[in-house]
Amino acid sequence: MPAPVSDALAALVRSGMPGAQAVLYGPDGQRTATAGVGDLATGAPYADNAHFRIGSVTKTFVATVVLQLAAEGVIDLEAPIARYLPNVVAGNGNDGARITVHQLLQHTSGLADFAPEDPSHKLPQQLDQTSDGKAYRDLTPADVVAIAMSIPPQFEPGAKFQYTNTNYALLNLLIEHVTGRPLAAEIGSRILDPLALRETYIPSAGDTALRDPHAHGYRSVDGTWLDVTDTEVAWAGAAGAIVSTGADLSRFVAALLSGKLLPAAQLAQMEQTMPMSTSTEMEYGLGLIRFRMPCGADGKDVREVWGHAGGIPGFSTLAIATPKGTAASLSINTVETNGQFSTVATALACAIA
């Protein structure tokens, strides 16, 4: 493992994180490095091929399926979502006739988030984020979309970028509507099976444990790490429910960026980005983020990688790759990270780009 990556992982743990694991993947094989612990109770490190929740990296899997369906002529990215899901995006100023599939993929729909991060927003009781997730158990993608429809839109469709989980809950419904099959089945047959990603899965409702081997996920409560590994996440669906491993994630993004999952035209669409903020370091495509990372001693050697980051109770994740088939993944066993996350991300990007 390159020294900058190992050093960054060690600094991450010294900064207070329980543990972390990084995987580098490429034509020359795979390398894994860990720091800290995967289990605070036993002191055991992240196990090789440890399972963890990938959060919003799930969105890249989902966007890939949507773009495959677009390549097959099943979905028109510029069509309004109401063409496929009539009367679903409606009420309180929300209008599915004015929001395209493309806008959902790129988070420019203007729809409100069904689980907004703004603490001033009063959530429906069933989405109280202080719970352990069990209250979410019976919520379907249609349910969380209905919750979002109770909130007025944030802005006019297409006006700007605003990351919103509701967009991908709608893409979940879209995929299931046009294929007649569950999202997990489509991701399985279109991505997991062809790439032999046997350690990646979408948990069903009530499946709160992680498959072995796995890292334990933690949340800080009054300065103490609380184990939140067993958590209900099926409700997150297309927005963030997938469980994977560093090896599987790295192979997935390497395959995607090197053109093994999408025709060239659809991959090019996926890579048409817009700024996520005033910074140009990150730009959002269709379920895919372009990262520009400063490398070299003076930071002037800017390298470009593509992928996605994710956070869900217990875990923070990053998966990045280049068109030449090199890739990296990072798992940290808490969602409450700090600035050292970006330091490790930069080290990984500089190692593969």
Residues 243, 47: Cα–Cα separation, whole Å = 15
Question: What's the structural domain count of the chain?
Answer: 1
Residue 126 is predicted with a pLDDT of: 42
Average pLDDT over residues 160-170: 96
The answer to whether residue 250 is catalytic is no
Per-residue pLDDT tens digits for 39-56: 999 999 999 999 999 999
Q: What is the CATH number of the domain that holds 257?
A: 3.40.710.10
Of 56, 244, 250, 316, which residue is the catalytic one?
56
Positive/negative CA dihedral, 89, 95, 99, 104: negative
In the DSSP assignment, the letter for residue 188 is I
- pTM passes above 0.85: yes
And the tokens for 287? 């379920």
In contact, 309 and 57? CB cutoff 8 Å: yes
**Which domain, by its residues, includes 277?**
3-352
Half-sphere exposure of 169 (CA within 13 A, CB side): 25
Per-residue pLDDT tens digits for 259-309: 999 999 999 999 999 999 877 789 999 999 999 999 988 888 999 999 999
Positive/negative CA dihedral, 72, 73, 79, 83: negative
Other CB atoms within 10 A of residue 118 CB: 7
